[in-house]
Structure 1
Amino acid sequence: MKAIDEQIVSSDKVFANTLMKKLSSMTFDRSRTVREHIMKMIDIAAKLKLLEVDMSTPFLMHFVLNSLPTKYDPFKISYNTHKDKWSINELLTMCVQEEEKLKHEMSESVNLVTRDKKNTIKDKSVPMKKKNCLDKDTYCFCNRRDTERKIF
């Protein structure tokens, strides 16, 4: 029984180490919402607390703020200069509001690529009907410089 208890303790330490590495390397990459990102960080902190690795709320809040991209810098400055201390739920709510604000501020852009007609070289691929093909709708594109045929 004693050996099993020792194995559980050592595996808990490894798991806590893994969770700490995961928490410290988390950054908000917009692959999910800011709410999901923060909730994931809170979940990891709760798992660490169960493993007797206590993390204070202010420490976790700074971890969360540091994981946000530079677009959130005005928000971070606002938090740091604010005299009141927020709870983690207030931080979560404020971050979601900031995310919505940033989405509305983000302008949509389209890149247009044009070619100057004077300097363009005519397209060298010419569609041709494949000669020895069973399928009537198969074409190949031959590059005039190469003898290689690309079949689509």
Structure 2
Amino acid sequence: MALRFIKNSISPIFRVVIPDLPNAKAYLHFVEEKFKGTSKAHASTLIMKLVSTKYDGISRIREHIMMMNDVARKLKGLDMEISDCFLVHFIMTSLPESYEAIKINYNTQKEKWMMNELISMCIHEEERQKLEKPNVAYLMVAGLKKRKKNYVSLGFSISQF
């Protein structure tokens, strides 16, 4: 009964690769051995993502930190646990120069920040940077003669305007 339930929960594409075995324990053991290499490749992909990710400044800082935290959580599920302190340091290195004040603040303090403290500090810094950045709108104005001249060069007649 359990074996039938397990077989039905596995995608038909993968069921073809797995031979019929007498019991659920043997079946699960075979599946584990067959797909062990896949978890190693997945772990390598996750590690490369964690190492190469840098904050782009376009998305929100919270999203960036949560994405890196999620990658670390997935690695923990693959028996490659990353401590919170190490992850905080790692996230700090992924931040651009505009967050240098937070990095200096963190490095000069004796106590280590937890993830929630890092998120709140980075969000505060992000909001501060938005307030400092001026809102600019550029307006271009051309005289009527120049506009008419451009339309004529494009093949339009002046009477159309």
Question: Which TM-score tier does this pair reach, normalised by the shorter chain?
Answer: 0.7 to 0.9
1:56 corresponds in structure 2 to 83
TM-score (norm 2): 0.69
Structure 2 gap ranges (5+): 1-26, 143-148
Structure 1 gap ranges (5+): 116-121, 129-138, 140-152
> Which of 57, 65, 84 lines up with 1:38 in the alignment?
65
Q: For residues 34-77 of structure 1, what are the alpha-carbon distances to aligned partners after superposition, in whole Å with 9 as ceiling and x for unaligned? A: 11110111111011001011112221111111111111111111
Give the distance between the partners of 2:55 and 2:42, measured in 1 at CA: 23
Give the distance between the partners of 2:134 and 2:96, measured in 1 at CA: 18
TM-score (norm 1): 0.72
Q: CA deviation at 1:3?
A: 4.7
- Letter in structure 1 aligned against 2:65: I
Q: Which one has a larger percent strand, Structure 1 or Structure 2?
A: 1
1:13 corresponds in structure 2 to 40
- Letter in structure 2 aligned against 1:98: E
- Letter in structure 2 aligned against 1:70: E
Q: Which one has a larger percent helix, Structure 1 or Structure 2?
A: 2
Root-mean-square deviation (Å) = 2.6
| Percent of aligned positions that are identical | 41
Q: CA deviation at 1:86?
A: 0.9
1:127 corresponds in structure 2 to 156
Give the distance between the partners of 1:31 and 1:7, measured in 2 at CA: 41
Aligned length in residues = 128
> Which of 79, 87, 112 lines up with 1:85 in the alignment?
112
